[in-house]
Amino acid sequence: MTRAIRSATQSDLPLIAALIRELAEYERLADEVRFDEVQLGEHLFGARPMAEVMIGEVDGAAQGFALFFHNFSTFEGKPGIYLEDLFVRPEARGAGLGKALLAQLSALAVERGCARLEWAVLDWNEPAIGFYRSLGARPMGEWTVMRLDGAALARLGADQRESADF
């Protein structure tokens, strides 16, 4: 069995879209997938890419992906990499592909002078949590992820436009 990790290209867009949908099914969040594939392609491969994707292959067949982007640590004064999604198809789990994707991202973070590689994991996903711990990752238990989206995001943005005074 051979594993390979490669950077995604525009021609991988249908594959990336399929992997995102498979991940959403696994995470029990399929009803939250709302992306437009053309817009996704623009954000990944357009004039100003907002994220990058690595494709993991086993014996030449795409079996997983990692979608990531840069963030910044003010405390470290350095960039970081935020791993938005990591997914390996069930039939390829145990082949070392998840570890290979994370190792490639870790090498990229070091190469780019990043202070850290971070991601979130669903608290019910014990297999993933155990896997991440086995690699040396540690949970950031004192932190709570916060999110503004949909109507709340639009409302707050509209409030700012109406009143430039903070």
Does the annotation mark 132 as catalytic?
A: yes
Residues 15, 21, 27, 28, Cα dihedral to 10°: -160
In angstroms, the CA 141 to CA 143 distance is 5
| From 45, 65, 68, 132, active-site residue | 132
Asked whether 16 and 84 are in contact (CB, 8 A), the reply is no
State the CB neighbour count (10 A cutoff) for residue 141: 6
Q: What is the DSSP string of 62-106?
A: EEEEEEEEEEEETTTTEEEEEEEEEEE-GGGTTSSHHHHHHHHHH
Catalytic sites, residue numbers? 132
